[in-house]
Amino acid sequence: MPKMKIAALFMCLLTLWTTPTSGAEVATPNDTARFLAGLPPAAESPLAALARDASWQRHASYLNAIFEHDERNHLSRIRAFSKAQVNNPHDTMLYMFSGPDALHALAVFPNASTYVLSGLEPVGDIPSLTGLPRGTAHRSLQRLETALGSLLTLSFFKTKDMKSQLRSGPVHGTLPIIYIFLARSGKTIQETSLVSLDRDGNVQDPNELGLKAAARGVKIVFTDGEGRMQTLYYFSTNLAEDGVKSSGFLAFCAKLGVADSLVKSASYLMHGGSFLTVRSFLLDHSGTIVQDDSGIPLSYFDRKKWQFQPFGRYIGPISLFARFYQPQMAELFRRVRPVRLDFGIGYRWRINESNLLLAERMAERKPDLARP
């Protein structure tokens, strides 16, 4: 056979092997999440063959190692902290400025029925992996490893890094990261759907004709090891004054009733005047707030309504945010003996430098904690 024909045949075969077919079988959301998380999908899954590739085996080995380390030294300790200290949990959990960090949401408030996460990062599409060329799938897994790096090492995502890591490629956005965190937290995903909010906070189908979406998001329904149904929403939305008042996001959150809130590594945004509305909303709609010092400044809490327990050490913000030092927080940590933290969290991610504040609304339980 002439060399030109051999070359043409080779290129044809290569194209057939690398080009996705329109009839590719679609994997379930749970198998997709497990595959991305380096956990084996079901034996009958269309992703089972891809999971036998050396590139996926390396990905699985890498994630097994880093999640095992994070579980032993970080997540298990956060769950122990929550079990011992968060004594009056609510059905709803709010995590503003979270990005895709479902991992800490589940660790701090493991028993919520509904989780609501939010950030500027795009949702992305529901990943369809069976139609990807194998080389593309491999590169997508590598990008996910990079995106996970800072959270699993430092306990927070770096905003600038996420802008590039989550906006490119066929597997993009926050959804693949959330999938990984749910799978690695032992959850089984039952259903995933893209959603939108109107200005009144009503959930809409994003493909509805004529809909002007005020905020776009994703709804994930999952079960834990006991079969209990839980739901997680993530919305890509602007929480600043110029966006939050018309997005419908806070109206949606208000419909869920009194909530528990987590705030960490939030760039001290609620210390200034550009996030007044979301700050007031959290104070008005939260029964419990767990936050580091980058959250709501202590001076905005009504001392007649809230009681506090500090944890760890308050040595002030890192140099990038030095102007947000809180004398009142320093005084609270001096006057009220803080409980030791055996894990690191937030920008001061080293164990001996981290701080948390547990704020509980007095009407929610007996006032047995210290007040400033």
Cβ-based neighbours of 114, under 8 Å, separated by 6 or more: 91, 92, 93, 230, 231, 232, 233, 256
- The C-alpha atoms of residue 141 and residue 172 are separated, in whole angstroms, by 11
- The C-alpha atoms of residue 220 and residue 148 are separated, in whole angstroms, by 20
8 Å CB contact between 225 and 278:
no
8 Å CB contact between 345 and 107:
no
Cα 268–274–279 angle (5° rounding)?
65
- The C-alpha atoms of residue 137 and residue 259 are separated, in whole angstroms, by 39
Using alpha carbons, list the distances in angstroms from residue 220 to 117, 163, 229: 12, 23, 11
- Report the relative pairing of strands 114-119 and 92-95 from DSSP bridges: parallel
pLDDT in tens, the chain (372 residues): 444 443 343 333 333 333 333 446 889 999 999 999 999 999 999 999 999 999 999 999 999 999 999 999 999 999 999 999 999 999 999 999 999 999 999 999 999 999 999 999 999 888 888 877 777 777 888 888 887 876 666 555 555 555 554 566 677 889 999 999 999 999 999 999 999 999 999 999 888 766 676 789 999 999 998 889 999 999 999 999 989 988 999 999 999 999 999 999 999 999 999 999 999 999 999 999 999 999 999 999 999 999 999 999 999 999 999 999 999 999 999 999 999 999 999 999 888 999 999 999 997 554 455 554
Placement of tokens 């679609």 in the chain: 26
By residue count, the chain amounts to 372
